[in-house]
Structure formats: C-alpha cells, structure tokens
Copies of this chain bind each other. A is one copy, B any other.
Amino acid sequence: MTQTHDDLTELTELEAQFADRLELTPEAADLLFREARSANSFSDEPVTDEQVRAIYELIKWGPTAMNNQPLRIVLVRSPEARGRLVEHMGGNNKPKTSTAPLVAVLAADDDFHDELPTVFPVFPGARDMLAADDANRRTTADLNAALQAAYFIIGVRAAGLAAGPMTGFDADGVTREFFPDGKHRAFMVVNIGRPGPDAWFDRLPRLGYDEVVTTA
C-alpha cells in the first residue's frame, strides 16, 4: 500500500522510540496498523478469490477460545446479491458498499459448537456443554467471531488491500437475506479493495496510553 502520512499519522518521536522495541519490522507495522486506513473509496481493480484464500490461510491461525471458529464469511459477488445487501446498509454506507470491488458479510455461526469434537478433541464434553446453554453459546460466538473479524481485517491489510469495516446496517435484515437458516447472525460488513482517490479523511485521535492501561 502506498499511502502518505498526514500530520496525525507521522510517528511522533515517542512512538518511534517505542516502535524500536517491536520484533515486527517497521514496514509490516505500517502495512497492518500505522499507515493502514479504513478506505471510503476504492479503485476498480478486482479482488480475486485467490487473494481471499490467501487471507484466510493466514488468519485461520488466529487464536480463539477452545479453538472454536464461529466466523463465517459471505463474499458478495453477484450484482443481484450486492443489491440485496446495499438495501440494508445505513445511508452513509450505501455508496461505499455499492462501489467496492468486493464486499464481505461477516457472521457468527451459533452452531459453531458442532465443530468442537473435530477442532477441540481434547475436551470431549465441550459440544454438549454448549448445546445445553444457548446464552453462553451466543456470548461465546459473539466474542470469538469478533476476534476472528479483527484477524480478517488485519489479513486484508496483509494482502496489501484496504478494508472498510462497517457496523452501520440493519443486521437483522442482512441476516435474513444471507443466512436464512436462522443459525447465523451478521455483525459486520467489510468493503475490500485498493484505495481510490481521496479514500480517507484525516486520521482521528486515539486515546493515550495512560487513559487505557493501568497497573494493579
């Protein structure tokens, strides 16, 4: 990704000093976090299934609780499906979702526990424990699918692409359109592609270290 820092994203002297303590290279830190931005516009360059496959083969290794893997991804490729999706997007998100080279709908699979005998064989009772507790299963799906969504965003950036993650949409509507089985819940839509012209505004401020981290 070739992006220029604006004033707010120039590394401060302090940030540069701490960055030296990372094992990750500055180039990778820029690619995944420091220069990466949520794009609001995209170029026409398509995003291929091979690129998405490369992203998945990377981020599938991200850790989850009991190796559960509730995230499901629908790649919205057909114009008809795109139209159905845009219908449920919030007003500001409609133009972005209409024009991004690829749009992915991310959902949590509430039946993820059926995979546990395969993906977490070290605890044979895990599936039945969760099957008996819908509230716990749903909370577990929410948290771990969200972790996996973050890994997915990082993975999109690892592929040299910009992600535009959004939660501003009618989640029940998108769920009905794309997961009619009633066992999934859509929670994020991600625009994916190369950034277009004027793809972002100035960077917004982050909380300071002392506002977030305390010691006990």
Contacts and interface: CB of A to CB of B under 8 A. Distances in A.
Contact of A75 (B53, B77, B168, B215): B215
A119 B54 CA distance: 33
Contacts of A36: 61
A197 interface: no
A55 B29 CA distance: 11
B165 A63 contact: yes
A34 B212 CA distance: 29
B58 A178 contact: no
B159 A23 contact: yes
Contacts of A105: 216
B63 A206 contact: no
B150 A204 contact: no
B178 A216 contact: yes
B22 A158 contact: yes
B212 A56 contact: yes
A186 to B, nearest CB: 12
Nearest to A78: B216
Interface in A49-72: 49-63, 65, 67, 69, 71-72
Interface in A145-186: 146-151, 153-154, 158-160, 163, 165-168, 178
Contacts of A132: none
A18 B50 contact: yes
A187 B140 CA distance: 11
A135 interface: no
A4 interface: no
Q: Which 10 pairs show the lowest CB-CB distances between chains A and B?
A: A23-B160, A150-B150, A146-B146, A24-B158, A81-B216, A18-B54, A28-B28, A21-B54, A60-B206, A147-B150
